[in-house]
Amino acid sequence: MSSREAVLRKLEPIFRGVIDPDLVLSEDLDASQVPLWDSLNHIILVVEIEMKLGVALTTDELAGLRNVSELVTLLQEKGVQA
Amino acid sequence: MSDDDGKLAVLIARYAAAQTLQQLVACVRDYEAAGAPHLPSWPNIRLALTGNYSTQFLARGFPLALAARHLAAEIYESPYNQWRAELLEPGSALHAFAPTHVCLTLTSIELAYGSLRTPEAVVASVTAAVQTALKAGDAHFLITLPEPLADELNDNGGAYAWRRAVGDGLHAALARPRVTLIDTAPLIRQAGAAAWYDDRFYDTAKLPFHPDRTPAMLGLLADALTGIVAPRCKLVVVDLDDTLWGGRVGDDGYDGIDLDPAGKGRHFLRMQAFLQGLHDKGILLAIASKNDPGAVQEVFAKRPEMILRADDFAATEIHWEPKSSSLARILDRLKLSTTGVIFLDDNPVERAEVRRRFPDIAVPELPDDPAQRVAILLGTGLFDHRVATGESLKRHRMYAENEARDAAQRDAGDYQEFLRGLKMTMHGAPLEAARERVSELIQKTNQFNLTTRRYNWSELAAAARGGFGRCYRLTDRFGDNGIISVVAVAREADGDARIDLWLMSCRVFGREVEAAILADIVARAGALGARRLIGDYIPTAKNALVRELYPRLGFREIGRDGTSVRYALPLDDARAAAGADFIAFSDLAEPVGAATS
């Protein structure tokens, strides 16, 4: 399992809890493809990611993260590992 | 309870436990999926929510938050920051919704940095909008006062002055019927500034607090609305000893209880001031105390520190019967149902006994530390009552009279069941096992004390010579009551055994503990070869409680003089040894010192 894959597996339960219990998270997914990934659920996602993965996001990061691939890259930069 | 009611109860429990936005939203979703159920008996409200920040989470949470408070609500939410237009224009969507309640919630961030800015402009703008809307309909307005800006933490007082000016101005302009102003500052203090403020979410989502504070904010608003629609609290029934003052007046005397404003007594005074505040708002107060009425009267008459006065209480039950009986009588006398009744007692056993018989009565957990109690009570939300009360109390009386008070008529067999459920165990031990506590009880106990002999240790040993001395510790499912009773029995020359000393903490009186102790005394006296057990009652100003103890336990009077009454119990009488079967007995030879309290 690549380290990107490992971060993805950590994100998946968070997305499932907030958006859809059956969601399969993949790197090519972005908010426009997931109807329930709206601005309100996005706030919940951000809060849950910060809490469960122990990272702090800046204002710009918090607003900008609308696709999974960027999110994985950012979390890797912030030291989230397997 | 039907399956649906059960599901609703589970959802409400999940809502009550929700600490984060995710937890809140998850149970709100399930509530919506279940069709947003409510009970037909709940009051219906139509709530319009409007403000100057993102209120979507609040709007979505309101139906469940209000269901948890037994209100059925239909919600209308204004578009973002449209509060002025919505309130001012008679044809607005808000007015078209015909709300019964309007919640106007404004954040200081937008007010202070947006178009209004100055306190004068904010007050004028809010006042104009609310006054116009009050005329347009008959809705009640719940308005949150602008919250402290995070800047208050570090600027030179400017942000504080701004908020004070806005708050004072709104209070002055909006002190009128159908308007309730609430302050969010206490909630923010409670959450802590670090947990509350988070600019990132204001900048990106127009949320003036961290998203995870949504459940707390929703709770504050829902509590306040409940206070307006159906005031929760109409009667507070309080215990006295260790609740309104420190110590036990029966033992310590009116001049021995703690009401010292410079010491721990201050926390009891705080409790009294809190209750006085409720009383001033029209909430009824009553006393349910296991106590000596004369001693209590003395406290009210002779302790000027008392904030509450005897005539602040609408009903008083002071005796040694179960507290649930006291509550039944108070409700009967005041013609009230159990709705909106709160019972305060420092003793977990009393709380459990009341809860068991009156599941509808709110019985908050009072911590042992009196310093924490008022804050905990405020945190329960039980006391929200922000409405002028003359009218609401009248309404309560009216519906109360229509409700059956079957609880008051439930049979007394219930109390035995309760005692059984306490799972009491008595641990007997030699006096030496808890020397300090035994000495303390001998010096301090006044009420359950048959002979009130203030022995020192050698006198005590002399009193039990040829006989025995025992102390008793009581545990129950709520924990350890510590050493609660001391007995010294002498062997007389004529072969009788005589109870020279018998005292007990009145905290456990009324639980048939005394019969269990007697059974142990009888067994031990029998083992010594005694044929009769003698007991003396020496009346004092404070021990009327046990005047009838020996006759009640099966003793017969055999003589009296000016200072005492003597009783005897033949030891071949089988009845004598019958203690309550629901109190287990265990004899400890080893020290029980750690259990003294």
Q: Which of B56, B199, B203 sits opposite A40 (nearest CB)?
A: B56
Are B241 and B316 in the same domain?
Answer: yes
Q: Is B57 part of the contact surface with chain A (CB cutoff 8 Å)?
A: yes
Instruction: Provide the shortest C-alpha distance from residue B213 to chain A (in Å).
Output: 11
State which residues form the domain around B512: 422-595
Interface probe for B, chosen from A43, A46, A51, A53 (most Cβ of B below 10 Å), is A43
Please state which of the ranges B42-46, B290-294, B302-306, B412-416 shows the lowest mean pLDDT.
B412-416
Bridge partners, residue B50, by sequence: B104
C-alpha dihedral (B195, B197, B199, B204), degrees to nearest 10: 80
For the segment B283-300, the average pLDDT, to the nearest whole number, is: 94
- Please state, rounded to an integer, the average pLDDT across all residues of chain A: 91
Q: Over pLDDT 70: what percentage of chain B?
A: 91
For the segment B336-353, the average pLDDT, to the nearest whole number, is: 91
In a domain, B28, yes or no: no
* pLDDT at position B252 over 80: yes
pLDDT digits (tens, 9 = 90+) for B18-49: 999 999 999 999 999 999 998 887 889 999 99
> B235 and B334 in contact (C-beta within 8 Å)?
yes
Q: What 3-state class would DSSP assign to B341?
A: strand
Chain A hits for B20, Cβ within 8 Å: 47-48, 51
Are B273 and B373 in the same domain?
Answer: yes
Quote the CA–CA distance of B441 and B205 in Å, as a whole number: 64
Nearest to B344 by CA among B241, B246, B238: B238
What is the DSSP code (8-state) at residue B314?
E
Which of B229, B254, B285 is where one domain is finished? B229
> What are the residues whose beta carbons fall under 8 Å from the beta carbon of B311, sequence distance 6 or more?
none
Q: What 3-state class would DSSP assign to B587?
A: strand
For B202, nearest residue in chain A (alpha carbons): A59
- Please state, rounded to an integer, the average pLDDT across all residues of chain B: 87
Beta-carbon separation of B205 and A48 below 8 A: no
CA B402 to chain centre: 27
Alpha carbon distances (Å) from B217 to B77, B79, B183, B221, B508: 16, 19, 11, 6, 42
* pLDDT at position B512 over 60: yes
Are B73 and B211 in the same domain?
Answer: yes
> How far does chain B reach from its first CA to its final CA, in angstroms?
43
In a domain, B496, yes or no: yes
Beta-carbon separation of A44 and B201 below 8 A: no
State ipTM. Answer: 0.93
Query: For the residues of B510-536, what is the DSSP string, one character each?
Result: TSSHHHHHHHHHHHHHHHTT-SEEEEE
What is the DSSP code (8-state) at residue B449?
B
Beta-carbon separation of A44 and B199 below 8 A: no
Instruction: Provide the shortest C-alpha distance from residue A62 to chain B (in Å).
Output: 8
Beta-carbon separation of A43 and B200 below 8 A: no
* pLDDT at position B391 over 80: no
pLDDT digits (tens, 9 = 90+) for B206-233: 999 999 999 999 999 998 888 788 766 8
Chain B hits for A18, Cβ within 8 Å: 22, 25
Are B361 and B283 in the same domain?
Answer: yes
For the segment B498-506, the average pLDDT, to the nearest whole number, is: 94
Please state which of the ranges B7-16, B141-150, B446-455, B536-545 shows the lowest mean pLDDT.
B7-16
Which of B411, B430, B450 is where one domain is finished? B411
For the segment B241-260, the average pLDDT, to the nearest whole number, is: 95
pLDDT digits (tens, 9 = 90+) for A54-82: 999 999 998 888 899 999 999 999 988 86
Are B207 and B253 in the same domain?
Answer: no
For A18, nearest residue in chain B (alpha carbons): B22
* pLDDT at position B385 over 80: no
pLDDT digits (tens, 9 = 90+) for B139-155: 999 999 999 999 888 88
pLDDT of B517 reads 93
What are the structural domain ranges in chain A? 3-77
Query: How many domains are there within chain B?
Result: 3
- Please state which CATH class domain A3-77 belongs to: mainly alpha
In a domain, B9, yes or no: no
Q: What 3-state class would DSSP assign to B337?
A: coil
C-alpha dihedral (B195, B198, B202, B207), degrees to nearest 10: -10
Tell me, what CATH number does B468's domain have? 3.40.630.30
Nearest to B473 by CA among B290, B597, B291, B348: B597
Are B95 and B67 in the same domain?
Answer: yes
In a domain, B2, yes or no: no
For the segment A28-52, the average pLDDT, to the nearest whole number, is: 92
Long-range contacts of B121-128 (CB under 8 A, 24+ apart): B122/B146, B122/B166, B122/B169, B123/B165, B123/B166, B123/B169, B123/B170, B123/B173, B125/B84, B126/B170, B126/B173, B126/B174, B127/B169, B127/B170, B127/B173, B127/B174, B128/B88
> B169 and B128 in contact (C-beta within 8 Å)?
no
* pLDDT at position B506 over 70: yes
Which residues of A touch chain B, with CB atoms under 8 Å apart? 17-18, 39-40, 43-44, 47-48, 51, 57-59, 62-63
B581 vs B367, more confident: B367
Are B467 and B378 in the same domain?
Answer: no
| H helix intervals, B528-596 | 549-552
Nearest to B207 by CA among B219, B217, B198, B215: B198
In a domain, B15, yes or no: no
* pLDDT at position B196 over 70: yes
> How far does chain A reach from its first CA to its final CA, in angstroms?
9
B375 vs B92, more confident: B92
Tell me, what CATH number does B374's domain have? 3.40.50.1000
In a domain, B464, yes or no: yes
pLDDT of B580 reads 73
Q: Report the alpha-carbon angle B256-B257-B260, nearest 5.
A: 105
For B200, nearest residue in chain A (alpha carbons): A59
Are B271 and B373 in the same domain?
Answer: yes
Are B61 and B208 in the same domain?
Answer: yes
CA B516 to chain centre: 31
pLDDT of B404 reads 31
Instruction: Provide the shortest C-alpha distance from residue A27 to chain B (in Å).
Output: 23
In a domain, B11, yes or no: no
pLDDT digits (tens, 9 = 90+) for B538-574: 999 889 889 999 999 999 999 999 899 999 999 876 5
Q: Over pLDDT 70: what percentage of chain A?
A: 99
Q: Is B211 part of the contact surface with chain A (CB cutoff 8 Å)?
A: yes
Are B348 and B475 in the same domain?
Answer: no
pLDDT digits (tens, 9 = 90+) for B409-447: 344 457 777 888 888 999 999 999 888 889 989 998 999
Nearest to B502 by CA among B438, B561, B596: B438
Quote the CA–CA distance of B582 and B423 in Å, as a whole number: 7
Tell me, what CATH number does B148's domain have? 3.40.50.1110
Structure tokens given for B494: 């004529």
In a domain, B1, yes or no: no
Quote the CA–CA distance of B351 and B407 in Å, as a whole number: 16
Are B267 and B349 in the same domain?
Answer: yes
Are B369 and B440 in the same domain?
Answer: no
Q: What 3-state class would DSSP assign to B425?
A: strand
Which of B411, B430, B454 is where one domain is finished? B411
* pLDDT at position B382 over 70: yes
